[in-house]
A and B are shown apart, each in its own frame.
Chain A
Amino acid sequence: MPSRPPPRVDLDLPVEASTVPALVTARRVEPAVLSARALTRRYGAVVAVDGIDLDLAAGDFLTIFGPNGAGKTSLLSLLGGRLKPSGGDVHVGGQRLDFGETSWRGRIGVLSHQSFLYGHLTVAENLRFFGRLFGLEDLDERVPERLEQVGLANRGDFLARQLSHGMRQRAALARALLHDPELVLLDEPYTGLDPHAAAVLRGVLSSLKDGARTVVMVTHNLTQGLELANRIAIQVRGRFTWTGERDDVDADAFEHFYHEVVESGRA
């Protein structure tokens, strides 16, 4: 494998110089809830994810920004065990994502811009179905509880296709959280939501920041992405061109900063 060039440090950024763009996050907390090493994914000859390293502790909320084609969805799919890495590996809760067995899948919850719900089943039926796949026993209590948490308490008997887009997203979130995963992955959750629905979703997502759960969110929307995050990464062409803490970033100047990073990452 050809060696990668060292990370670029001299970017003209409106950020403290002490923030070093690193491919390995500076803060490594043992034991990391989510840990990825040299994570790579190829489709035939195309490299979508190019040797990414990552460490997240319990309670971290990482938002990954990046342009289309940066490989963000592929990265999330790798972290969620939907895709097999072409190289490197992922550990969740200390357990390696080994495709030979499936026990680690109970630790991960995925919310995509697709709802993962069957339109012709009710919300409750959908949740019960996935609950059984996850081997959950107490569905009679768990399902109503989850629906309550996402604000769909009295919509349980609606067919999924009857829900508005915003409600469907929340139902999808209920599905993702049904088994109490320690790692939650959100792929562009705000896509297609009107401002009100987005606000409702944000309210629900903020409840995920309970200190025990770890969240990784991918989004285009710079404002929404910054709201809940405590860690930030910008992905360009399969690599983390910039990583850092939310506190190190000036929200007002972030848009300008982001575009600069993306441009430099493309160069």
Chain B
Amino acid sequence: MPSKNVRTAGGVMAMLGVVGVLVLHWMVFFWTPTEANQGIIQRIFYIHMPSAVVAFLAFGIVAICSALYLWLGDDHLDQAAVAAAEGGIVFTTIVLLTGPLWGRIAWGTYWTWEPRLTLTLLLWFIYLGYFLVRASTENPDRGKRFAAVVGIVGALDIPLIHLSVRWFRSLHPGPVVIKPEGPTLAPQMMTTIMVGLVSLLLLFAGIFLIRYTIEVAKQTLDVRDQQARV
């Protein structure tokens, strides 16, 4: 069982993350300069981009933990993978919500098949597959193995998907995506982005640790519950 320290550390990180997000919002609404071309709507970028970083980072954790889980068979690795996956899909959803909102206002349409957003959409479905297989087996250990396979194959394919989607885009250009941060990156914008990244990473890390301890406790209790019944 992970010590209480892990849980506490998770709580502290999450709190720091929340504080960071509050600071971020203040910066986004009151401090950062407005981008010249896109106007106010560009500010959504400061949530959108860090969320995307976290979403993919989380999946990287899922993939690595999954591979190690299959290799070493340690349940803790599966528990970590699930925790990362849950955090990951939340941030992926945030990306998919903020992206089209931004697109609608900035370029008139919700969905433009922008390569990175498309990749994120596919990532969301890979996460979905991860949870579906994990939950729909009779033998729970088998479900964990299945999910690990989904995580690993997904991670292997994502670079290829990224390449292919970007290549496709180069053939069929859509609305021109102006550099999100504008032609020049004002120092304050850079700071805001960094604050955004750090806060969301902290938030994810905190959620991850807490969720991990919950998953460990859950699986331990399942075992004890069954043993008590015998």
Q: A interface vs B, CB < 8 Å?
A: 43-47, 237
- CB of B230 within 8 A of CB of A43, answer no
Expressed in whole angstroms, the Cα–Cα distance for A149 and B227 within the complex equals: 47
Query: Quick check: B141 and A44 within 8 Å, CB to CB?
Result: yes
B227 and A44: CB pair below 8 A?
no
Q: How many residues of B contact A (CB 8 A)?
A: 9
Check B222 against A47 for contact (C-beta < 8 Å): no
Q: Which single residue of chain B is at the shortest CB-CB distance from A43?
A: B139
Whether B140 pairs with A47 at a CB distance below 8 angstroms is: no
B225 (CB) vs chain A CBs: closest residue: A45
Alpha-carbon separation in the docked complex, A58 to B140 (Å): 38
14 A-B interface contacts by CB (under 8 A): A43-B139, A43-B140, A44-B139, A44-B141, A44-B222, A45-B223, A45-B225, A45-B226, A45-B227, A46-B226, A47-B226, A47-B227, A47-B230, A237-B230
CB-CB under 8 A from B141, the residues of chain A are 43-44
A-B pairs, 10 with minimum CB distance: A45-B226, A44-B140, A45-B223, A45-B222, A43-B139, A46-B226, A44-B141, A44-B139, A45-B225, A44-B222
Residue of B nearest to A50 (CB): B230
Q: Is the interface of B mostly helix, strand, loop or mixed?
A: helix
Specify which chain A residues have a CB less than 8 angstroms from the CB of B226 in the assembled complex: 44-47
Chain B residues lying within 8 Å of A44, measured Cβ to Cβ, are 139-141, 222, 226
Provide the bound-state CA to CA distance between A46 and B228, in Å: 10
Interface flags for B187-230 (1: CB within 8 Å of A; 0: not) read: 00000000000000000000000000000000000110111001
Contact with A along B113-144 (1 / 0, CB 8 A): 00000000000000000000000000111000
Give the CA-CA distance A151 to B223 in the complex, in Å. 49
- Output the least CB separation between A52 and chain B (Å): 16
> In the complex, A91 Cα to B151 Cα: how many Å?
34
Not counting A43-B141, A45-B225, A237-B230, a sample of 15 additional A-B residue pairs whose C-beta atoms are within 8 angstroms of each other reads A43-B139, A43-B140, A44-B139, A44-B140, A44-B141, A44-B222, A44-B226, A45-B222, A45-B223, A45-B226, A45-B227, A46-B226, A47-B226, A47-B227, A47-B230
Q: Bound state CA distance, A45 and B223, in angstroms?
A: 4
- B133 CB to closest chain A CB (Å) equals 15
Q: How far, in Å, is B1 (CB) from chain A's closest CB?
A: 15
For A47, the chain B residues whose CB sits under 8 A away are 226-227, 230
Please name the residue on chain A nearest to B139 by beta carbon. Answer: A43
Residue of A nearest to B220 (CB): A45
How far is B198's CA from A68's CA once the two chains are assembled, in angstroms?
A: 57
Give CA–CA (A47, B230) in the complex, Å.
9
**What's the nearest-Cβ distance from chain B to residue A15, in Å?**
27
Chain A residue with Cβ nearest B223: A45
Which chain B residues in 17-31 approach chain A with CB under 8 Å? none
A38–B223 Cα distance when bound, in Å, is: 19
Closest to A2 in B: B227
Q: Specify which chain B residues have a CB less than 8 angstroms from the CB of A46 in the assembled complex.
A: 226
Q: How far is the CA of A45 from the CA of B141 in the complex (A)?
A: 10
